[in-house]
Amino acid sequence: MSFDFQNLRSGIAAASADEQFAQAVLDGLSKTPKRLPSWLIFDDRGSEIFTEITQLPGYHPAQCEFEIFQTHKQAVTDILSKTPFRVIELGAGDGKKTEILLEHFIQCQLTFEYVPIDISEGAIKNLVASLESRFTGSTMSVTGLAADYFDGLRAVSQDSNQRNIVLFLGSTIGNMELPAAEQFVRQLWESLHDGDYVMIGFDLMKHPKTLYAAYNDSTGVFERFNLHLLDVLNRKLGANFVKGNFVQQGQYHPRSHAVESFVYSTREQVVRLEALGKEFTFDAWEPMQTEHSYKYTQAEIESLAVNSGYQIVKHLFDAQAHFVDSVWEVKT
């Protein structure tokens, strides 16, 4: 069984990813209020800080999903084990939760391929190396792809004898607004075949104080994560953000149904982004949104599935029903 890594983000693909990044920043900083999409934070260091977030005891989306995988790993195995299958993971990050499932499949002597996909090259390289050191000689082969979600998915060879299950965990879908999430699951449906599965991790709506606590840890990891975006902008776009001039806070917003994280400029200042050839003024205490994490109801999840051509197979909840990993089958 092999453990491979491929970078699909080199050459023309890398240039177009850089252009997309620059455009997203230009669009976001030109908005009033300023608002940047969450995915910009995920360079290699951003992924490392996100791993620290998933280890915070109070960050329930990660803790609940760890619990769900421990509790329901046999239920997932029962769904998949009837035919040969391949596990594809979009935005795999450190893959730690998925490892619970992979280990269980291996213990059940199932032969399968695992294809983690992430824009963070460092995250995928580390993941493949860590799986190789733990699972060499097992029934699993691994092909890690440093790629954008759908570029990675397109690169995976299609074999109609093999069912795919696509994992999209960690409430990453919550980083999209509802129309973008609808478009995403529809595009996923178009990329798959009848009988393939998807498993998506959704954070559920709950007490706003619980949400506030989850995104405002006392150790400051969330603040470091959001402020890291300024380092990314400095490095990738030749910007001159001074991190010490910004602070961070997250809060649930009832109109957007999302936890929104903001960095606030603590003073009036002008920031230059050399690669964009532009300067942007920040007023004192002006907020800039850096994260959006939509909180779903079960009814919204079910509409999302059914309206996009999926049949709901199972909802896997944690004991407190704070989070759900929802398994859907592609129906054409």
Ligand X SMILES: C[S@@+](CC[C@H](N)C(=O)[O-])C[C@H]1O[C@@H](n2cnc3c(N)ncnc32)[C@H](O)[C@@H]1O
Q: Site residues (CB under 6 A) for ligand X?
A: 39, 42, 47, 50, 54, 91-93, 97, 117-120, 123, 148-149, 169-170, 172
Taking the complex as a whole, the smallest distance from the CB of residue 125 to ligand X amounts, in Å, to 13
Residues 323, 51, 37, 287: what is their CA dihedral angle, to the nearest 10 degrees?
A: 100
Q: Which is nearer to ligand X, 86 or 286 (CB)?
A: 86
Q: Which is nearer to ligand X, 286 or 318 (CB)?
A: 318
137: left (phi over 0), alpha (psi -120 to 50) or beta: left
Taking the complex as a whole, the smallest distance from the CB of residue 51 to ligand X amounts, in Å, to 7
**Side chain identity, residue 269:** Q
Buried b (16+ CB within 10 A) or exposed e, 119-152: bbbebbbbbbeebbeebeebebbbbbbbbbbebb
Q: Which is nearer to ligand X, 90 or 230 (CB)?
A: 90
Q: Residue 276 carries which DSSP code?
A: G
Taking the complex as a whole, the smallest distance from the CB of residue 201 to ligand X amounts, in Å, to 7
Q: Which is nearer to ligand X, 200 or 230 (CB)?
A: 200
Taking the complex as a whole, the smallest distance from the CB of residue 229 to ligand X amounts, in Å, to 13
Q: Which is nearer to ligand X, 91 or 309 (CB)?
A: 91
Question: Which residue is nearest to ligand X, using beta carbons?
Answer: 170
Taking the complex as a whole, the smallest distance from the CB of residue 279 to ligand X amounts, in Å, to 28
**Measured distance CA(4)–CA(77) in Å, rounded:** 24
DSSP lists the bridge partners of residue 122 as none
Q: Which is nearer to ligand X, 148 or 217 (CB)?
A: 148
Query: Is there a contact between 148 and 121 (Cβ–Cβ < 8 Å)?
Result: no
CB atoms within 10 A of CB 195: 13
Taking the complex as a whole, the smallest distance from the CB of residue 54 to ligand X amounts, in Å, to 5
**Measured distance CA(150)–CA(187) in Å, rounded:** 9
